Amino acid sequence: MAVHVRAPATSANLGPGFDALGLALTLYDDVEVELADSGLWIGVTGEGEETAKRGEQHLIVRTFREAYALIGGAPPPGLRIRCVNRIPHARGLGSSSAATVVGILAARALHPEGGRFTDADVLALATRIEGHPDNVAPCLMGGLTIAWHTGAGPRTTRLDVAAGVRPVAFVPEHRLATERARGLLPETVPHADAAANSGRAALLIAALTGRPELLLDATEDRLHQAYRAPAMPESAALVERLRARGVPAVISGAGPTVLAFVSDGEGDSIGSEVGTSWHIHPLNVDPHGACVQPINQETRVSGE
């Protein structure tokens, strides 16, 4: 038995929506997971090729095994995993969330009793592995998601994004570990900054779902980006330059990728101004989230 799982890149925070808002993007990792008679084989092409050597410590393997065990029964005797990765690693585009979601969804699809592992169970496990639901929620559901914690576990809701929203990701060569970026945040922030972010986060939801002309004001942040700027000065400078030009721009997740929202036709002019040290990805919002299909000739993973 084998399945093909496609998981989208995501951008969390989106400026003021720290640890709460996330957006699914049309940049994908494609993974085949197959039950085998014995052993473990991992093949990776594209981003993160070095992760093929991690064996049982590979994130997809670990999440697959944890989910399979939670559903119950004996573990599968062997696994074959083939990954075609397009989501840059350690750049703030949700690569670890995508891998986590792939492992869990593949386990649910391949387990004989996987049907009893609900979507809420998937969200809870993915959040526990990742630490926060802001990336795993859009990866699972697509569109714009709002995630929060309750005493009963993480919750999320999904919203459609206005047709005029065009995200562009500016990806640098260097990486930044999420743990390092999070370690730069202060334990407390001024009340005025917290209040300002609350208003901007509410405005951002309105802007993304129907009023994109408000995105410049709506993406203003006071909670995390300035504190993290010393770890990614080039990214912080690019956000400042784009915003000074009137382009809504934010640090994507923990960085160092910069995410901007552009009008139709504006992406090319921005790209020429940014320079050659950034990989520029004009994208759309993925409306569906991760999907699982049985393996056949049409769904076979390829690097194309």
> So what's the pLDDT on residue 304?
43
Cβ atoms 146, 205 nearer than 8 A: yes
Nearest CA to 165 out of 38, 16, 24, 39 is that of 24
pLDDT digits 0-9 by tens, 70-129 = 999 899 999 999 999 999 999 999 999 999 999 999 999 999 999 999 999 999 999 999
CA–CA separation, 119 vs 210, rounded Å? 28
Place of tokens 């991760």: 290
CA distance readout (Å), 89 to 10, 131, 171, 259, 276: 12, 17, 10, 16, 20
pLDDT digits 0-9 by tens, 146-185 = 999 999 999 999 999 999 899 999 999 888 877 777 788 9
